[in-house]
Amino acid sequence: MSPLITAVELVALSDARLTELPLVVLDVRWRLGGPPGLLDYQAAHVPGARFLNLDTALADPPGPGGRHPIPDPARLTAEFASVGVSDSSTVVVYDDADGSVAARAWWLLRWLGMPSDQVRVLDGGFSAWVADGHPTESEVPEPTRGALTARPGSMPVLDADGAASLAGTGLLLDARAPARYRGETEPVDPRAGHVPGARNAPFARHIGPEGHWRSPDDLAAYYRALGVVGGTEVGAYCGSGVTATSVVLALEHAGLRPPERPAALYAGSWSNWSADPERPVALGDEPEPA
């Protein structure tokens, strides 16, 4: 089963007669620098959707671990349970753009131990939902609290040492825009550049011109060209550990990494690496030796 779901499939899934598992739809719209996604949610959202904020619900406060550290498992479990997520739920997550923020929620649910067939990302997000003519609402639902069991660690995570090692022995993918990878600009973090040995795999290339995820075949060709082949160990990072989760999702969607063997996430990402003056930095188009 693909980690993605279309708007038409979500409509069908919303019919309780067609699913044995209770459906929870999560709205995680967010943009760097604002305005808050909550305002968009309050104006219009997928009927029945519940809102979660990336900065406060889907990350711990910024610190040594980076700008968006993985939340404390107990707190994260409580956040998901507060919007109705239970062990028996089918969860569909959406944002309003390229799916990268939705991928963060998808990844966190999987990291907590939710089976791959119970959590999916809406292809095209809220924009596709509206473009397809599906209804929206502004009413904020009051969900019944869910009963969610935490099994943290169900997705592989790298620290800085692990990322450095993987860049030399396997394949470490940098999901940021090419200019940030090359070190030409760095609008957020302390230093510009990339982890030595990492290859650039901009997350923006996951999406086609119509705003939907590219096909599995297209993504498979893209990632094979970057070196995702056979038994190569793969990890991904970005600025703060958010958009890199879309690389993990893309590799699963492409069929290159099955749910039982996902790519690893360097959770602290560049915000963690660049804050340590002892960590080397590479510049330019080439990965440079790790």
Q: Catalogue the active-site residues.
A: 238
Closest CA relative to residue 162, chosen from 193, 192, 198? 198
The secondary structure of 238-263, three-state, reads: CCCCCCHHHHHHHHHHCCCCCCCCCC
Orientation of helix 216-225 relative to helix 244-253, angle to 10°: 120
Neighbours of 214 (CB within 10 A): 18
CB 172 within 8 A of CB 89: no
Burial readout 227-238 (b: 16 or more C-beta within 10 A, e: otherwise)? ebeeeeebbbbb
Interatomic CA distance for residues 42 and 137, integer angstroms: 9
DSSP assignment of 147-186 equals --------S-EE-HHHHHHHHHHSEEEE-S-HHHHHTS--
Contact 281, 269 (CB under 8 A): no
